[in-house]
A and B are shown apart, each in its own frame.
Chain A
């Protein structure tokens, strides 16, 4: 079976962000970028399916600017067979991305699409669900385990109360949560090999699509900074402060 795995280029999760002085957005100039951590988990899962002989081909896809090809190369180094870049410089958000991915799904006809559950920049947590809706497919979001058998995929989902397991008819869309797996690091020879793997580029126009308008971003601000308080010397002092100063006990 064919697995399509979507990846997003985002700010590295270790970087402390800055808001632009004009409050128009977060400042990404000269900031370290990386593959969204949840997408790394998605790629890892797809590659493991191939290693187990369940998947026959893993195709990585991204929507974004030219530079996002870096993240496709990372996916290829991690074990994807080929990559598709839908290039656009517009500010595309979840609905727009989902529509473009739907265009790719129509062309590629994968049996399974795996995405990260959320991107750590917009924190939307929407794209997988939207793609599933547009493609008329079932969705297994926030997955911590999957199992494939007889035309179905069983997905264990991390929900607020614990875990829920659902069975979805294939083709299906799955979004990864943190516990799905622990992604590997790309090895140098694989990084070299990845440079030669096929990477196909599209534009929204070449897919016959237009980019859906995202909600207007009116302003981006830094939240009120929380001030550090005091160190207390003992448990007694802590209990006293909580009772008599903070009055929370």
Chain B
């Protein structure tokens, strides 16, 4: 078996998601190579080479791969895929964008968001917003898989893989990068924060998220939100936790003014400890919360901040 992992990186930094995907690859077994594709990614490749269990880092460094557009990245992966039995990526917006395209170009199925590896061809994955877990088996010669990073332990960083350049340069005339508007934050990333505190419609407006920020600062927590809070324009889309947003599984998740719809629970119910603050005693969120506090968040949040 030989596995190619598409490395995730942002702003010239290797993203922590990659170490989790390599963790999943090692569970499958066999040789693991990493593909770093981007523009000016020498630094990323150096960090990638330190991930334990990686044999070789293949680096495609060209303007065509800047911004991780799906069309050139999928073509690049197609050019490399014949060397491998599996291609893996994180279930990030990059992985979800690119891997189905690769799979279709190779005429194979893609398996999304695996939670567990039963064998080299059999995997567990959530369906119906995580309300059921399917065990699926692929008969395809190439397995193309996205990985739920919270479900796999990351590998360490004491490895020393070889680094090799990839010559293939994709010729992309179909799509063009125009711009991006990325959230700036000094807080930990939602996906790998030890503590996450999220606000819902109950927060009332975007300004009130300052109450959450203050608690988050004390805890070193990341701040998330429900869909309702994002739809209402309180906070940007990258903060949405849930079935169709980000999946988090921190040590501690604090849901504030969030009712607990199944689509929200799908994104956070694997957290180790869940706290809910809600004024409605019957809110469904309390059914999954280890500790529930009934009351007005506008009184409770400042008090919590003060007592931490």
Which A positions have Cβ atoms within 8 angstroms of B?
Answer: 11, 13, 16-17, 19, 26, 38, 93-95, 98, 117-118, 120-134, 137-142, 144, 154, 157-169, 172, 177-179, 212-223, 226, 228-232, 234-236, 238-239, 241-242, 246, 248-249
B180 A215 Cβ-Cβ under 8 A: no
Which chain A positions have C-beta within 8 A of B92?
160
B237 A166 Cβ-Cβ under 8 A: no
B33 contacts the other chain (CB 8 A):
no
A159 B238 Cβ-Cβ under 8 A: yes
Knowing A242-B273, A242-B291, the reply to whether A166 touches B307 (Cβ < 8 A) is: no
B174 A137 Cβ-Cβ under 8 A: yes
Q: A212 to B272, alpha carbons, bound, how many Å?
A: 40
Chain A residue nearest to B306 in the complex (CB): A235
Knowing A235-B300, A242-B252, the reply to whether A168 touches B174 (Cβ < 8 A) is: yes
B55 contacts the other chain (CB 8 A):
no
Which chain B positions have C-beta within 8 A of A95?
103-104, 107-110
A238 B293 Cβ-Cβ under 8 A: yes
B244 A249 Cβ-Cβ under 8 A: no
* Segment of B23-31, B65-73, B79-87, B160-168 engaged in the interface with chain A: B65-73
B157 contacts the other chain (CB 8 A):
no
Q: A122 to B74, alpha carbons, bound, how many Å?
A: 23
B101 A162 Cβ-Cβ under 8 A: no
Which chain B positions have C-beta within 8 A of A122?
112, 127
B153 contacts the other chain (CB 8 A):
no
B129 contacts the other chain (CB 8 A):
yes
Q: Which of A16, A19, A162, A220 contacts B238 (CB 8 A)?
A: A162
Chain A's interface: helix, strand, loop or mixed, by majority?
A: mixed
A139 B132 Cβ-Cβ under 8 A: no
A160 B174 Cβ-Cβ under 8 A: no
B286 A228 Cβ-Cβ under 8 A: yes
Q: A160 to B222, alpha carbons, bound, how many Å?
A: 14
A133 B180 Cβ-Cβ under 8 A: no
Q: List 15 A-B contacts (CB under 8 A).
A: A19-B132, A123-B112, A126-B110, A126-B112, A127-B100, A141-B93, A177-B237, A179-B230, A215-B109, A219-B134, A226-B274, A229-B289, A231-B291, A232-B292, A239-B307
Q: A133 to B98, alpha carbons, bound, how many Å?
A: 10
Q: Which of A167, A215, A228 contacts B175 (CB 8 A)?
A: A167
A215 B136 Cβ-Cβ under 8 A: yes
Q: Which of B96, B231, B236 contacts A162 (CB 8 A)?
A: B236
Q: A137 to B70, alpha carbons, bound, how many Å?
A: 11
Knowing A160-B246, A161-B238, A166-B175, the reply to whether A120 touches B128 (Cβ < 8 A) is: yes
B225 contacts the other chain (CB 8 A):
no
Q: Quick one: which of B283-307 are within 8 Å of A by CB?
A: 286-294, 300, 303-304, 307
Q: A95 to B136, alpha carbons, bound, how many Å?
A: 15
Chain B residue nearest to A166 in the complex (CB): B175
Q: Which of A19, A129, A230 contacts B97 (CB 8 A)?
A: A129
A231 B179 Cβ-Cβ under 8 A: no
B137 contacts the other chain (CB 8 A):
yes
B287 A133 Cβ-Cβ under 8 A: no
Chain B's interface: helix, strand, loop or mixed, by majority?
A: mixed
Q: Quick one: which of B192-249 are within 8 Å of A by CB?
A: 195, 219, 227, 230-231, 236-238, 243-244, 246
Per-residue contact bits, chain B 38-68, to A (CB 8 Å; 1 contact, 0 not): 0000000000000000000000000000010
A159 B136 Cβ-Cβ under 8 A: no
Which chain A positions have C-beta within 8 A of B74?
133
| Centre residue among A132, A161, A223, A239 by max chain B CB count within 10 A | A161
Q: Which of A17, A128, A216 contacts B131 (CB 8 A)?
A: A17
| Centre residue among B100, B122, B140, B246 by max chain A CB count within 10 A | B100
A167 B236 Cβ-Cβ under 8 A: no
B174 A169 Cβ-Cβ under 8 A: yes
B244 A178 Cβ-Cβ under 8 A: yes
B101 A226 Cβ-Cβ under 8 A: no
Q: A172 to B139, alpha carbons, bound, how many Å?
A: 31
Per-residue contact bits, chain B 103-119, to A (CB 8 Å; 1 contact, 0 not): 11101111111000000
Knowing A139-B97, A161-B238, A223-B132, the reply to whether A166 touches B69 (Cβ < 8 A) is: yes
Knowing A229-B291, A236-B307, the reply to whether A218 touches B131 (Cβ < 8 A) is: no
Q: A16 to B67, alpha carbons, bound, how many Å?
A: 39
| Centre residue among B98, B177, B180, B307 by max chain A CB count within 10 A | B180
Least Cβ–Cβ distance between B248 and chain A, in angstroms: 12
A217 B134 Cβ-Cβ under 8 A: yes
Chain B residue nearest to A159 in the complex (CB): B93
A139 B178 Cβ-Cβ under 8 A: no
Pick the 8 closest A-B CB pairs, nearest first: A229-B290, A129-B100, A130-B104, A138-B174, A133-B104, A126-B100, A162-B182, A165-B178
B238 A218 Cβ-Cβ under 8 A: no
B96 A141 Cβ-Cβ under 8 A: yes
